[in-house]
Chains A and B, each alone.
Chain A
Amino acid sequence: MRWVVLILAAAGVAAAGWVVWDRVRGPTATPIADFSAPFVFGRFAVPPDNAMTQEAFTLGRHLFYDPILSGNNEVSCATCHVQELAFTDGLAKSPTLSGGELDFSSMSLANLLWGQERFFWDGRATSLEEQALMPIQHPEEMGQDIDALMEELRVSGSYRKMFRQAYGSVTPENTAKALATFMRLLISSNSKYDQYLRGEVRLTAQEEHGRKLFMAHPDTKVSLRGGNCIDCHSQFLTSGFRDALDGFSNNGLDSDETMPDGLMAVTGNPAHKGFFKVPTLRNIAVTAPYMHDGRFDTLEDVMDHYNDGIVVSDTLSPLILEADNAPEAGQGTVGLRMTPDEIQAIIAFLDTLTDEAFLTNPQFSNPIEGGS
């Protein structure tokens, strides 16, 4: 009898000890084991102090979809970043808390591991970790006091547990890291174009025509026709370029008089006036309206802009100003001057960038029961 009591007591002590130990030990995060990235996307870098782990992804996913992140507990990241719209919101400019609209259109979140290492249309954040906390605290976006948010998260047993497993304690830094990890793993790599690059499918004749135009800067001297897309959108990622500030450009939307500052607001360099982040074209067919201010409703409108609607300004990209498919001088308009068939071919190619598996991937969906 004494032995039984002793054994039970020992088991009780062990169980209590495990519970205590589980709560005080460090995070138990497990690296994402089967992570692989398409070869053609090239190199990427994950911050050394924020390794991609299952636990960080799970926490980030919960935070992304939870309106607890906003001051009024009604707005989550997913309010303006809707999965089926490639994490945009379908609006020209996202609404503000006070009923107006923000300066910029909601950006698509896909393949953020590659391309520019600056975030937002004007590049004001230099890492996803830095970016993640900015909309939360912006008075017109989510209007949340970061310390108040930490108090709210600490009240939740499940958040305390998710933070503990991923990072340790509930802190603003760990909140940012988790959201960054979730965003980093929003990878779109199964569009028809990806399948074509892997040699699994053929493009139609029209799509192939569009692909060739996409990849070519026109040169009338050698009768090369081109849509000039590749001068800003990299050939495989279709995003802006990674090096330095190469991924920012003035694409001829506004005159010097009406042009917003764009990247110049961040760098202070007048040569960057009106420069905005070149977005990825992945899933572009579902991310209308287009441009930093959502001024174009359709891809046809976008193509019309590049074809004959370029507004000349001092910082306009010389590659855009110079690119012209017609040998004779233009009559008052600036643009690519392609044929309607060529424009439709480019749009057909852009349609091959839609990745249904990405738009419906259950791992990227709202994990909170009942939705938000």
Chain B
Amino acid sequence: MRPIIVISAFVALIAGWFVLNSGQNKATPITLTFHAQMGDEPLIYDQFIYENPGGQGQFRVRDFRFYLSNLSFGHGGETYAEPDSYHLLRFDNADSAHSITLPEVPLPSVETVRFLIGVDPAANTSIEARGDLDPNSQMAWNWEVGYKFVVFEGALQVGEDVSPLVYHVGFSENAREVEFSIPAEALADGKQEVNLIVDLAKLFDNAALIDMQALPSVKFNRTDADALADNYATMIAPTF
């Protein structure tokens, strides 16, 4: 009789350890998928199909990309920050989309998501390659200035005239924080994906309305850069 009690106790101990342990270490897989749109439609490159929001003519998009960094997730009072969290989001693919997958966020579930559009000051002034940061990439201005945060390049057509559009927004003060909550049902029943819309139209038509003819480029002028940063601050929103 005695051995059975010992074995039973041992089995209960092991089972209990597994139950408790799995509860403590519960990890949540999550995928954030960003869909580039112009207004309500998927972004289309290289065609003069978009109206200059603040003036005459139509514009086309040759390039649109930005840094998303310092991604963190919250659950109750707990937060988890992704290490080396520097993602270059680009949308020149068939789906005009970009996904970030974390197979194991060490939280029981995810209630809030936070990130920066741009790069934090410490990383922005470093030449260390971390995440998607690469001082030899197109996103580097040079190491005295840091990275471009948001890049838009294209052209504006007014009548027969075609002129270049170059909007490069950087400078550490132009990083903008985005935070949103995830309703419980969105990640229930094995669902792992959160879809977000990146509305490029908001870069030019938001707090500030941009006439691309009057302002065909933004680079190192801090007032112009700040205006575009306030515009892109709200260009990303989740859809549930």
Contact = CB atoms under 8 A, between A and B. Distances in A.
Contact of A242 (B136, B153, B155, B221): B136
A58 interface: no
B191 interface: no
Given A235-B140, A322-B164, A42 B135 contact: yes
Contacts of B230: none
A148 interface: no
A219 B134 contact: no
B127 A246 contact: no
B92 interface: yes
A296 interface: no
A311 to B, nearest CB: 14
B75 interface: no
A144 interface: no
Interface string B126-162: 0101000011111011111000000001110000001
A246 B137 contact: yes
A239 B136 CA distance: 9
Q: Which of B138, B140, B143, B168 has the most CB of A within 10 A?
A: B138
A187 interface: no
Nearest to B134: A42
B165 interface: yes
Contact-residue bracket for chain A: 20 to 34
Contacts of A242: 134, 136-137
A322 B217 contact: yes
A41 B136 contact: yes
A243 B137 contact: yes
Interface string A221-233: 1101000001100
B154 A222 contact: no
B221 A216 contact: no
Interface residues of B, number: 33
Nearest to A216: B142
B141 to A, nearest CB: 7
B88 interface: yes
Contacts of B143: 235
A318 B134 CA distance: 22
A318 B135 contact: no
Contacts of A230: 140-142
A236 B162 CA distance: 33
B194 to A, nearest CB: 25
B216 interface: yes
B173 interface: no
Contact of A234 (B136, B165, B217): B136
B46 interface: yes
B219 A42 contact: no
Given A40-B136, A241-B136, A243-B134, 6 more contacts: A42-B136, A215-B144, A318-B164, A318-B166, A322-B216, A322-B217
Interface of A: 40-43, 114-115, 215-217, 219, 221-222, 224, 230-231, 234-237, 239, 241-244, 246, 270-271, 314, 318-319, 321-322
23 contacts: A42-B135, A115-B136, A215-B144, A217-B141, A217-B168, A219-B219, A219-B220, A221-B221, A224-B220, A230-B141, A231-B138, A234-B136, A235-B142, A236-B127, A242-B136, A242-B137, A243-B137, A271-B45, A318-B154, A318-B166, A319-B153, A321-B164, A322-B164
Interface of B: 45-46, 62, 88, 90, 92, 127, 129, 134-138, 140-144, 153-155, 162-166, 168, 216-217, 219-221, 224
